[in-house]
């Protein structure tokens, strides 16, 4: 099973993020997704996760995500990633800055029937906001 989860994650990153095919998000996440990592003010679960990713793809049209590491056990997959892109679109109220940013994060997904039904994630939001010049370094 763990190889299947890793292939699903690779598909999410390559197709979803790097080729900007939103259908890859829809196949990775269950519509019953319980998402522990969404900011307040957007819908919960699957809909919120799709909106969150869409917002980043719109803000960073050249976004490129790289899988740094994956490990799987039982029904869980851990993925450590890095991403870089140019901030040329509005991001959650922040007007485009034209700045190139580079951030990293780690996600954990719990799978049922081949899809993620539960998602945890922490990424370097402070680093992102510092690189955008929104908060001081």
Partner 1 sequence: MTEINKTIALQTMEALHERDLESARAKVAPGARFYGWAPEPLDADGHKAFMFGLLTAFPDSNFIVDDVVAEGDKVAVRHRLQGTHQAELQGIPATGRQVEIGGIVIFRIENGMVAEAWLNADIMGMMQQLGVVPA
Structure letter (DSSP) for residue 113: T
Q: Which long-range contacts (CB under 8 A, 24 or more apart) does 35-41 make?
A: 35/118, 35/119, 36/118, 36/119, 36/120, 36/121, 37/107, 37/119, 37/120, 37/121, 37/122, 39/92
How many residues make contact with partner 1 (CB under 8 A)?
23
Output the smallest distance, CB 76 to partner 1, in A.
Answer: 5
Number of neighbouring beta carbons within 10 Å of residue 83: 21
How far is it, in rounded angstroms, from Cα 3 to Cα 72? 8
Structure letter (DSSP) for residue 134: S
- The residue within the footprint of partner 1, chosen from 58, 67, 94, 129 (CB under 8 A), is 129
- The residue within the footprint of partner 1, chosen from 10, 102, 126, 133 (CB under 8 A), is 126
CA dihedral defined by 98, 62, 60, 17, rounded to 10 degrees? -170
Instruction: Check residue 34 for interaction with partner 1 (CB under 8 A).
Output: no
To which residue do tokens 């809909």 refer? Answer: 47
Output the smallest distance, CB 108 to partner 1, in A.
Answer: 6
Instruction: Check residue 92 for interaction with partner 1 (CB under 8 A).
Output: no
Q: Identify which of residues 47 and 124 has a Cβ nearer to partner 1 in the complex.
A: 124
Q: Identify which of residues 15 and 110 has a Cβ nearer to partner 1 in the complex.
A: 110
Binding mask 49-88 for partner 1 (x = CB under 8 A): -------------------xx-xxxx-xxx-x--------
Residue ranges that bind partner 1, judged by CB under 8 A: 2, 68-69, 71-74, 76-78, 80, 104-106, 108, 120, 122-126, 129, 135
């Amino acid at each position: 099973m763990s190889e299947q989860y890793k292939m699903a994650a690779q598909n999410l990153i390559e197709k979803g993020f790097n080729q900007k095919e939103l259908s890859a998000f829809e196949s990775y996440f269950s519509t019953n997704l319980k998402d522990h990592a969404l900011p307040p003010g957007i819908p919960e679960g699957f809909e919120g996760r799709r909106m969150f990713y869409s917002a980043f793809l719109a803000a960073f049209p050249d976004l490129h995500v790289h899988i740094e590491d994956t490990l799987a056990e039982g029904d869980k997959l851990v993925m450590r990633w890095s991403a870089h892109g140019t901030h040329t679109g509005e991001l959650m109220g922040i007007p485009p800055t034209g700045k190139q940013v580079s951030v990293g994060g780690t996600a954990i997904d719990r799978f049922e029937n081949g899809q993620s039904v539960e998602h945890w994630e922490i990424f370097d939001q402070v680093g992102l906001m510092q690189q955008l010049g929104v908060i001081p370094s």
